[in-house]
Copies of this chain bind each other. A is one copy, B any other.
């Protein structure tokens, strides 16, 4: 019991030091290009990375306060008629924190969505580092793909496959998705023509 309490304190301090979540960096990344209101930050997120990250006001505004506390952003209040707008600006500390995060290797366990949220800002990085990071991530994906392929082989040795067609199909889903993302990594890490990624498909219009 005494032990658990001290562990707990240790955790809190760890979180306090390292503690910043994905959305914090996304906010910093968006403010890096231009100062915006909370409302506009949300719109930018919606337009740009809605596909792999959703931000509601309920999570956005409290995080803006947190970033103010950390002095990663500062806030300038502007009068627009009767309405007051709070324009958030990134500080130099905020820029450093953001670039530090952006340059860092991707944590092995992170999701494709977290990876893509980072890639979204890679135009702010050198080609060299961006490519290294994407190639690193590709390696994770290839390892994962090989695991799934092994798993599939185990499945294929079983009898009565028609009885678990759909179970097996979800495994193929994973393989499909991984393969297409690996192709994406190979194209993007070499900064090749993106158009080549598009498959010829009928029926999408």
In the complex, the count of this chain's copies comes to 2
Residues A106-153 near B (CB distance < 8 A):
116, 119-123, 130, 142, 145-146, 148-149
A176 in contact (CB, < 8 A): yes
* A167 pairs with B120, CB closer than 8 A: yes
Contact B180–A179 (Cβ < 8 Å):
yes
Q: Does A183 contact B (CB under 8 A)?
A: yes
The proximity string for A residues 185-205 relative to B, scoring 1 for CB distances below 8 Å and 0 otherwise, is 000100100100111010111
Q: In the complex, which of the residues B116, B149, B173 contacts A204, with contact meaning CB atoms closer than 8 Å?
A: B149
Q: Are B201 and A172 touching (Cβ within 8 A)?
A: no
A132 to B116, CA, bound (A): 32
A76 — which chain B residues lie within 8 A by C-beta? none
Contact across chains for B175 and A142 when beta carbons are under 8 A apart:
no
Query: Which residue of A145, A181, A194, A197 has the most chain B CB atoms within 10 A of its CB atom?
Result: A194
Interface residues of A, Cβ cutoff 8 Å to B: 48-49, 51-52, 116, 119-123, 130, 142, 145-146, 148-149, 163-177, 179-184, 188, 191, 194, 197-199, 201, 203-205
**A-B CB contact pairs (8 Å), 14 listed:** A51-B171, A51-B174, A116-B173, A119-B169, A121-B166, A123-B163, A123-B167, A146-B205, A172-B184, A172-B197, A173-B181, A176-B183, A179-B198, A183-B201
